[in-house]
Amino acid sequence: MSDFIMMFREGGWPMFAILGADLCAAGLVPIALGFTLVARSRNKWRGAAMAMAVVALMAALAPICAGIGGYMLGMSRVEAALELVDPDKRELIEKMGSEEAGQNLNFGFGTGCLCLVPALIALMLVPAKPVAHDDFA
């Protein structure tokens, strides 16, 4: 538990943005799966199932994007701090700063993939659009 708290401290406020995006995705993905299963069993509501699956997929990508943004923000702060640092300690501070900024990537990709896989499954399970056959051919 203390490692998790330390990861949040090192990652900074973007970690909370990632967590918020994760909570939204975790709420939307089961709804999308439910819509998809209903659409497959009743053979209607295909449009609603497709829309929910796309929304769930976008919500699942949000933590990954927030992790990338948090990493970029952290690295920009590291680069700004390196301008003021003694050249002897530059390498050490750069290494430590990149590790701390990398916490955003680790958390964003790790938790984002947990929602991304079921969102992709929901999208793949949406029933196919019915094809109108030409009876006069």
- Of 111, 109, 110, 83, nearest in space to 97 by CA: 83
Q: What is the mean pLDDT of residues 18-41?
A: 88
| Predicted pLDDT at 35 | 85
Cα atoms found within 13 Å of the Cα of residue 126, Cβ hemisphere only: 21
Q: How confident is the model at residue 73 (pLDDT cuts 50, 70, 90)?
A: very high
Whether the pLDDT of residue 16 is over 60: the answer is yes
User: pLDDT digit string (tens) for 91-129?
Assistant: 888 898 888 888 899 999 998 888 889 888 888 888 777
Cα angle value 67/63/111 (rounded, 5°): 95
Q: Could you tell me which residue, 133 or 32, shows the higher pLDDT?
A: 32
pTM for this model (two decimals)? 0.79
| Predicted pLDDT at 1 | 66
Domains of the chain, by residue range, sit at 7-125
Whether the pLDDT of residue 136 is over 60: the answer is no
Computed over every residue of the chain, the mean pLDDT equals 85
